[in-house]
Amino acid sequence: MRAESRFRLCPLRAEDGAAVARLFDASTDYFEVVLGRRPRSGDAQALYTDGPEDGRPPDGKMLFGIRLPDDEALVGVLDVFAHYPEPGTWYIGLVLLDPTARTRGLGRAVVESFARDARSHGASELQINVVEQNSAALSFWTRLGFTEMRRWRQHYGERESTFIRMRRQLEPRPGQIE
């Protein structure tokens, strides 16, 4: 992915695991809302190996660290899957920002940059799952033009949650014939 002036996206490597664990520990609010528990020691490692949804292999997985332009500290992660659940659809598994980096437009900038890059690699749609009790995330994705496709109940973490599958159609590149 190309770099933006507000942030840098860098592929996450195994040696970044400790930084991911620190980000997860700083983001306890997310884990409590979504999973009903605090982050655990294995959660950071699972980010590297988990598929897009329960029981799915990590085919097409791309995992990026989000860093500020002049800082090596990890302020977020972007976990995405190309061509899932079908060709032309790219699935966002996770966008997580350190609480100190939220509400400044960084999340929007990351998602919009990702959307442009995905489109340039053949994506026509983005999809994401949001749990209903994560009202801040639901509002964020709606503001970014994602719309609800369906809902279902599923046990996730320590709680039963209503999941909302959302999607956003991507505009064709200029001069591209659909």
Cα-only R_g, the chain: 16
Distance of CA 69 to the CA centre of its chain: 20
Helices (H) and strands (E) in the chain, counts: 5, 7
Going by DSSP bridges, is the β-strand pair 125-131/89-97 parallel, antiparallel, or unpaired?
parallel
CB within 8 Å of 103: residues ≥ 6 apart = none
Whether the model clears a pTM of 0.85, i.e. scores above it, the answer is yes
Joined together, the tokens standing for residue 86 give 């079908």
- The model's confidence at residue 176, banded by pLDDT at 50, 70 and 90, is low
Residue 73 has a pLDDT of: 87
Cβ–Cβ < 8 Å for 48, 63: yes
Q: What is the pLDDT of residues 116-165, one digit of tens each?
A: 999 999 999 999 999 999 999 999 999 999 999 999 998 887 888 899 99
Mean pLDDT across the chain? 90
For residue range 64-98, list pLDDT tens digits in order.
999 988 888 899 999 999 999 999 999 999 999 99
Structural domains in the chain, sorted by start = 8-53+60-169 (3.40.630.30)
